Structure 1
Amino acid sequence: MRNLLRTALIVSAAGAAATIAVVSAQGAENSAVDEPPSLAEDYTYPGAAQILATDHVQLISGDGHIVYAACPTGPDTVGLLQISTSERVGPRQNGKVCFHVLGSGGQLSLKLPGVYSIRGDGLSTGQGHKVKAALTTDAGQHTTVDVPPDGTTQVGIAGTPAGDPTTLLELNATT
Structure 2
Amino acid sequence: MKLLSRAFATAVAAGAAAALVSLTGTVGATAAGSGTAAAPALTQVADEAPGYAVEDFAYPDADRILAEQGIVLKRGDGHITLAACGSETGLLEVWARSKDKVCFRVSGNGGYLSLEIPSVYGVKGNAYATEVTMTVEDEEKSFDIAKNTWTPVGESADPNGRDHMLVEIRATR
Determine the structure 1 residue equivalent to 2:90. Answer: 79
Structure-2 separation of matches of 1:96 and 1:47: 20
Asked if 1:157 is matched to 2:170, the reply is no
TM-score (structure 1 length as normaliser): 0.69
Greater length-normalized contact order (CA 8 Å, ≥ 6 residues apart): 1
Contact 1:156-1:162 at 8 Å conserved across structures: no
**CA offsets 1:110-161 (integer angstroms, 9 cap, x no match):** 011010001102xxxxxx0000100001x11110010011111112221263
2:61 aligns to what?
Answer: 47
Shift of 1:163: 3.0
Distance 1:72 1:131, change over 3 A: same
1:6 is matched with which residue? none
In terms of fraction of residues, the more helix-rich structure is 1
Q: Which residue, 62, 76, 80 being the options, matches 1:62?
A: 76
Counterpart of 1:131 in structure 2 is 130
Letter paired with 1:43: F
**Equivalent-residue separation in structure 1 for 2:163 and 2:55 (angstroms):** 33
Q: Give the number of aligned pairs.
A: 129
Aligned ranges for residues 1-175 of structure 1 at < 5 Å?
30-31=47-48, 35-72=49-86, 78-87=89-98, 89=99, 95-121=100-126, 128-137=127-136, 139-159=137-157, 161-175=159-173
- Displacement of 1:52 in angstroms is 0.4
Distance, in Å, in 2 between the alignment partners of 1:149 and 1:104 is 15
In the alignment, which residue of structure 2 is the partner of 1:92?
A: none
Distance 2:51 2:81 in 1: 26
TM-score with structure 2 setting the length: 0.69
Q: Distance in 2 between matches of 1:68 and 1:40?
A: 23
Question: Which contiguous aligned blocks of 4+ residues in structure 1 show a shift greater than 4 angstroms?
Answer: none
Structure 2 residue runs without a partner (length 5+): 1-43
SS of match in other structure, 2:155: helix
Instruction: Please report how far the alpha carbon of residue 50 of structure 1 lies from its aligned counterpart in structure 2 after TM superposition.
Output: 0.5
* Deviation readout 1:21-56 (Å, 9 max, x if unpaired): xxxxxx8x911xxx4342121000001011000000
The structure having more radius of gyration, on CA atoms, is: 2
Q: Distance in 2 between matches of 1:163 and 1:170?
A: 20
Q: CA RMSD in A?
A: 1.8
Helix, strand or coil: the match of 1:30? coil
d(CA) in 2 for partners of 1:55 and 1:45?
A: 15
Task: Give, in angstroms, the shift of residue 162 of structure 1.
Answer: 5.0
CA contact (8 A) 1:110 1:169 kept: yes
Q: Report the secondary structure of 1:78's partner residue.
A: coil
